[in-house]
Amino acid sequence: MSQELSAEQIQQALQGISVPPQPQIMVDLQMEQYMPDPDLEAIARLIAQDPGLSGALLKIVNSAHYGLTNKIASIQRAVNLLGSRSIINLINAQSIKGEMSDETIVTLNRFWDTAQDVAMTSLTLAKRIGSQAVDEAYALGLFHDCGIPLMLKRFPDYMSVLERAYANTNGEFRVVDTENQVFNTNHSVVGYYTAKSWRLPEHVSDAIANHHNALAIFRDQSPRDIPLKNLLAVLKMAEHICASYRVLGNQAEDHEWNAISALVLDYVGLSDYDFENLKESIRELGVR
C-alpha cells in the first residue's frame, strides 16, 4: 500500500547531495505524468535508467517515513511503494533543480551512457552466473560512478584528470590514485557518501567505495567480504564489456581489466574462453 507524500515532504527529503537527471528522461517522464492514467511500470523503467532519479527515489523509500525493516535497491519496488502521486511530486521536484549548459550535458552524457549500459549488463551477468543479488547488481551498475558528476561540478578539469587516470598502464596503480594526487579525493569516495545520503543498502555503498580497489580485494583469498566480492566481480566484468575505459577514460585499452581479469574470472569460475563467449552473447542480445 503506497503512502502519499506531499510536494513539501519530497523537497525536504531531497535536501543534500543530488546528481542531475538526464534532460531527455525528464521530458519522457513529464510526458508520461500528463497522461490521463500514468503508467507506473513505464515510469519505473524510465527512472531506472537514471542514477540521479533512482538515487532520489531510493532515498525517500529507505527513509524512516516508510519504516522498512531492510533497505531496498529495487527501483520497481520503490515506485510501487511510493505510488503515482508521490512519484509525480518527485519528478516535479527534480525538474526544478536548475538548467545545465549544453557543454555540461554533452560531458555528462558520457556518465549517463555508461551508467545505463553497465547497469543493464550487470543485471544480465548476475542472472547468467546465478547471482542471488540481481537488484543489487543493477543498482551498483547504475550508481557506481555517481561521484563523477559531483566531481565535475566541483572541478571543471575533472574529465581530463579521469582520462589520465585510465591511461596509466601500471597495474598496481588504481584509477582513483591519480584523482587523489590532484584533488585529494576521488569519485569512489564521493560516490560512497552520495550512496549513503541516498540510504542505499550498506553493501552496495561499500562496493561503490571499492570499485577501483578490486585488485587488493580479489587478491585476498580469505572468505571475508563475500557479498562485496560477488557484487564487484559482476561490476568489473560489466564495465569491461561496456568499454567504460573508452567512454569515460578515452582509452583504446582497458588497463584496469588487464590487471584484475585473471583474479575476477577465477573467483566466478569462468575461463577466458567462457568470458569471451559470455561477452559476445550479451552484445548479441543488444544489452549494450
Distance of alpha carbon 288 from alpha carbon 286, whole angstroms: 5
**What is the model's pLDDT at position 37?**
82
Is the pTM value of this prediction over 0.85?
yes
Distance of alpha carbon 47 from alpha carbon 85, whole angstroms: 15
How crowded is residue 246: how many other Cβ atoms within 10 Å of its Cβ? 15
pLDDT band of residue 284 (cuts 50, 70, 90) is confident
Is the model's pLDDT at 9 over the cut of 50?
yes
pLDDT band of residue 36 (cuts 50, 70, 90) is confident
- Give residue-wise pLDDT tens across range 149-168: 999 989 999 999 999 999 99
**What is the model's pLDDT at position 1?**
40
Contacts of 105 (CB under 8 A, 6+ apart): 23
**What is the model's pLDDT at position 5?**
58
**Among candidates 230, 234, 235, 257, which has minimal Cα distance to 246?**
257
CB of 240 closer than 8 Å to CB of 254: yes
- Give residue-wise pLDDT tens across range 49-68: 999 999 989 998 888 777 78
pLDDT band of residue 243 (cuts 50, 70, 90) is very high
**Among candidates 84, 148, 74, 140, which has minimal Cα distance to 110?**
148
DSSP 182-220: HHSS-HHHHHHHHHHHTT--HHHHHHHHTTT-HHHHHH-
Q: Where are the domains of the chain?
A: 7-95, 102-284
Task: State the chain's mean pLDDT as an integer.
Answer: 88
- Give residue-wise pLDDT tens across range 89-143: 787 777 655 567 778 888 899 999 999 999 999 999 999 988 888 999 999 999 9
Identify which of 57-66, 221-230, 266-275 has the greatest average pLDDT: 266-275
- Choose which CATH entry (2.60.40.10, 1.10.4190.10, 3.40.109.10, 1.10.3210.10) describes domain 102-284: 1.10.3210.10
User: What are the grid coordinates assigned to 239, written together?
Assistant: 564495465
**What is the model's pLDDT at position 172?**
84
**What is the model's pLDDT at position 148?**
95
